[in-house]
Amino acid sequence: EDKVVQSPLSLVVHEGDTVTLNCSYEVTNFRSLLWYKQEKKAPTFLFMLTSSGIEKKSGRLSSILDKKELFSILNITATQTGDSAVYLCAPNSGGGADGLTFGKGTHLIIQP
Amino acid sequence: DAGVTQSPTHLIKTRGQQVTLRCSPKSGHDTVSWYQQALGQGPQFIFQYYEEEERQRGNFPDRFSGHQFPNYSSELNVNALLLGDSALYLCASSSGLAGGGETQYFGPGTRLLVL
């Protein structure tokens, strides 16, 4: 059975801090790993990672995948209150169909 | 370019009733996946539709069924509602051409409350 564990489950930091969110996974036929940000309803897409060791970057957010150790991290530098959200990771096992297996998410709160 | 749309936004039903939720995929996408998200949990995969057929199914009972239309829009039906079916139902669309592994884009969801 596919398994995804995110840590920490919740995190409270002050504006300007840097945070690192963790995602470890066990899936069969791994194709990619996706990160989403969920503020109220719709998870919004952040990154798709397919190759180990190649950092993907978007503004203050970056993410990297380690396919050997089966984990990914999401970094957010110079956090802002607008970064407050639940961050979800989901490995994609592909194989002709791609129902995502999500972790419980990390609830990040940025205090002004 | 319209993203993924879902209707209705909120719904209140009573136990034993049936409900139908609707989803229109992002323009250019042909694959629709449905997820159930209980409070405080990550989304759980229900099933995926491609070319009007159920291509993959998660661990959900037969009370959950779906349909995809020729225009790629989709419906999720839940029969004999239970209190535990109260959740946010999310629809995600993607392109099925690559055979899996594509990025899924989510709609705003339908909040279902079963009393």
pLDDT in tens, B37-72: 999 899 999 999 998 999 889 899 999 999 999 999
Contact with chain B for residue A59, Cβ under 8 A: no
Indicate the class that CATH gives domain B5-99: mainly beta
Number of H helices, E strands in chain B: 0, 11
Domain coverage including residue A26: 3-111
> Which of B60, B65, B24 shows the shortest CA–CA distance to B45?
B60
**For residue range A43-96, what is the model confidence (pLDDT) as tens digits?**
999 999 998 889 999 999 999 999 999 999 999 999 999 999 999 999 987 654
**Number of compact structural domains in chain A:** 1
Euclidean distance between CA atoms B15 and B107, whole angstroms: 26
pLDDT exceeds cutoff 90 at B101: no
Q: Convert B76-92 to b/e letters by CB count within 10 Å (16 or more is b).
A: bebeebeeebbbbbbbb
Is there a contact between A88 and B40 if contact means CB atoms under 8 Å apart? Answer: no
Domain assignments of chain B as residue spans, ordered by start: 5-99
* For residue B106, pLDDT beyond 70: yes
Dist CA A112 CA A95 (whole Å): 44
Q: How close A106 gets to chain B, by Cα (Å)? A: 10
Q: Is the pLDDT of residue B100 over 70?
A: no
Q: How far apart are CA A93 and CA B46, in angstroms?
A: 15
Return the pLDDT at B55.
86
Q: Taking residues B9-23, what's their average pLDDT?
A: 97
